[in-house]
Amino acid sequence: MNVIAGAFAPPATGRTAMISNKNIVRVSNVTKSFQLGKISVHALKGIDLEIPTGQYISIMGPSGSGKSTLFNMIGGLDKPSTGKVFIDEVDISQLDAYELAWLRCRKIGYIFQTFNIIQVMTALENVTLPMTFAGMRNESAVEKGMELLELVGLADRFQHKPFELSGGQQQRVAIARALANDPAIILADEPTGNLDLATGEEIITLLKNLSHERGVTIISATHDIKMLNVSDQVVWIRDGRIDKIESREELTISVGRIDARPGA
Amino acid sequence: MTKTATTITPATEAPRVHRQVVLPLGKSFEIAYNSIRVRFFRSLITTMSLVLAVSFLGFVSVSTDIANGLLSTADPGLRQALIRSGYDLEPEDTRADSSPKQRWIVVLSLLVCVVGIVNAQLMAVTERFREIGTMKCLGALDRFVLRLFLLEALMQGLVGAGIGALAGALFALISNTFRYGMIAVTTPAMADIALSIAMATGVGCLLSIVGVLYPAFVAARMQPVEAMRVEH
């Protein structure tokens, strides 16, 4: 576990590497307002959050709670109005376009509700694209891409275009792609939102195994109660603020009550 | 003990990892080419106005070459035929030139063509917002996106303008053969015609690039989070 965490942060100095072993993401007093016509909407009203390395974190909350906004902040896809977001103890608002692209390429893997597989590329090309951006040679990228597709159980479909794959398979390709550059964090935005129950569960199990075996921190925004089962921590967001943070031990009771599905 | 430690220290210094993302040119070509191939009909529409405008340019230019070829025979009959078909030839002229009116029509058709390309490319970019956003999430820089669109436009330009220029030249040769007979094909210098075709192709490529510039900038500057918000 320590070895993996170290390998994920090669350019960091000794000091930051040590800190990053504890908290991979730190959100400090973040607010975000949007201007909608003349009205300004406060999506986030002061969020403080620390996410430890190697954990499976679920961000839960109703629609419009600011969940997606917070999620975009952590992913470096959007900048906070005030406050700071640190990834690996680096303040991402200080990064220029190049460093931000590097961060997205090497440190973070994204998984989306709508899969967002690039339609004109095959499964394998989708997985190797981030490796190309990272400067990996083509043969090694293809080799690693096949390994990753095998990991998600799609090795025999590497030549297929997205429209020839089911939703669950597309999401698997997206997971393989997210893992391409051995990121420290995987951000999953409603990864099961467009999938049926069984496929959704497969995807959740896959993510859980990855976080176990590879020590990847998984942060997922979700509505899906199935996610609670596997989360190490659940962050409940309500009305732009953190409502409560529950760890798994606290959760099992409530999940046992909700979780009345057969075969779960 | 201390001696070994001091000798090891400088050698084991970890190499600095490059904090940069890259997209090699070869790979850009591959992606751009595949992108055109997969969206063949969309590319065809973008290219069509270019084909038409460039073929008109090629037609006018090659017709002038043919007229020059005919003039070089110094046959008074052919000279009269040229004047009858609309060339303004003074008695002392030894070279024909496209008339100002023709030039204006060519320039106008090229302008309309650029507007058509901008329109078609803006649509194409809008259709691809999500793809662009995804690429940016995977670590693409603005200039990768820009480069991909420029390469696509260059390829479309080369093919479209090439086809247009050849079609225009062919049409000029055929129609002039009908008007003046086989002499229209035999007298003009092949180098002139080739030069005209190359010029028309070059102008076409340039127009294709000019037409894609604004749409490509729009695409490249887009924030990934905005791109993802687009509904399909």
pLDDT of A12 over the 60 cut: no
| C-beta of residue B60 within 8 angstroms of C-beta of residue B100 | no
* Complex-level ipTM beyond the 0.90 threshold: no
For residue A16, what pLDDT is reported?
A: 43
Tell me, yes or no, if A62 comes closer than 8 A to chain B by beta carbon.
Answer: no
pLDDT of A263 over the 50 cut: no
For residue A230, what pLDDT is reported?
A: 86
* Helices and strands, counts by H and E, chain A: 9, 10
- Domains in chain A, please, with CATH? 53-72+96-258 (3.40.50.300)
For residue B18, what pLDDT is reported?
A: 52
Angle at which helices A167-178 and A123-133 cross, to 10°:
20
Residue numbers of B between 134 and 153 with CB closer than 8 Å to A: 134-142, 144
What sections of A76-183 are H helices per DSSP? 97-102, 123-133, 138-151, 167-178
Tell me, yes or no, if B18 comes closer than 8 A to chain A by beta carbon.
Answer: yes
Is the four-CA dihedral A92, A93, A95, A96 of positive or negative sign? positive
Q: Is B22 left (phi over 0), alpha (psi -120 to 50) or beta?
A: beta
pLDDT of A140 over the 80 cut: yes
Token pair for A61: 């909350």
| C-beta of residue A122 within 8 angstroms of C-beta of residue A149 | no
Token pair for A145: 């891409």
- Contacts of residue A34 in chain B, CB cutoff 8 Å? none
Name which residue leads in pLDDT, B86 or A108: A108
Boundaries of domain holding B189: 24-229
Establish if B151 belongs to a structural domain. yes
Token pair for A235: 């962050």
Which pLDDT band holds residue A64 (cuts at 50, 70, 90)? confident
Q: Is B83 left (phi over 0), alpha (psi -120 to 50) or beta?
A: alpha
Residue numbers of A between 205 and 244 with CB closer than 8 Å to B: none
Judged by CB atoms closer than 8 Å, whether chains meet at B138 and A130 is answered as yes
Structural domains counted in chain B: 1
Instruction: Tell how far CA B165 is from the center of its chain.
Output: 11
A165 vs chain B: nearest CA distance in angstroms?
A: 17
Instruction: Tell how far CA A91 is from the center of its chain.
Output: 18
CA–CA gap between residue A94 and residue A13 (Å, rounded): 18
| C-beta of residue A57 within 8 angstroms of C-beta of residue A217 | yes
Establish if B120 belongs to a structural domain. yes
Among B231, B42, B222, smallest CA distance to B146 is for B222
Residues contacting residue B110 through CB under 8 Å, at least 6 positions apart? B53, B57, B203, B207
Which pLDDT band holds residue A129 (cuts at 50, 70, 90)? very high
Residue-by-residue DSSP string for B34-101: HHHHHTHHHHHHHHHHHHHHHHHHHHHHHHHHHHHHHHHTT-HHHHHHHHHTT----TT--S----HH
Give the count of beta carbons closer than 10 Å to the beta carbon of residue A235.
Answer: 22
For residue B161, what pLDDT is reported?
A: 96
pLDDT of A229 over the 70 cut: yes
Judged by CB atoms closer than 8 Å, whether chains meet at B141 and A78 is answered as no
pLDDT 10s digit of each residue in chain B, 232 long?
Answer: 444 443 333 333 334 445 678 888 888 999 999 889 888 888 888 899 899 999 999 999 999 999 988 888 888 888 888 888 888 787 777 788 777 888 899 999 999 999 999 999 999 888 888 899 999 999 999 999 999 999 999 999 999 999 999 999 999 999 999 988 888 888 888 899 999 999 999 999 999 999 999 999 999 998 887 777 655 4
Buried b / exposed e along A184-206 (16+ C-beta atoms within 10 A):
bbbbbbbbbebbeeebbbbbbeb
Question: Which DSSP helix (H) or strand (E) runs through B157?
Answer: helix B142-180
- Contacts of residue B142 in chain A, CB cutoff 8 Å? 97
CA–CA gap between residue B140 and residue A134 (Å, rounded): 10
Establish if B208 belongs to a structural domain. yes
Residues facing residue A41 across a β-bridge: A34
- Contacts of residue A120 in chain B, CB cutoff 8 Å? 34-35, 38-39, 131
For residue B84, what pLDDT is reported?
A: 85
Name the residue in chain B with its Cα closest to that of A136: B22
CA–CA gap between residue A123 and residue A161 (Å, rounded): 6
Tell me, yes or no, if A39 comes closer than 8 A to chain B by beta carbon.
Answer: no
For testing the chain A interface, which of B43, B137, B149 should be mutated: the one with the most A CBs within 10 Å? Answer: B137
Establish if B5 belongs to a structural domain. no
For residue B15, what pLDDT is reported?
A: 41
Establish if B69 belongs to a structural domain. yes
CA–CA gap between residue B230 and residue B126 (Å, rounded): 9
For residue B101, what pLDDT is reported?
A: 86
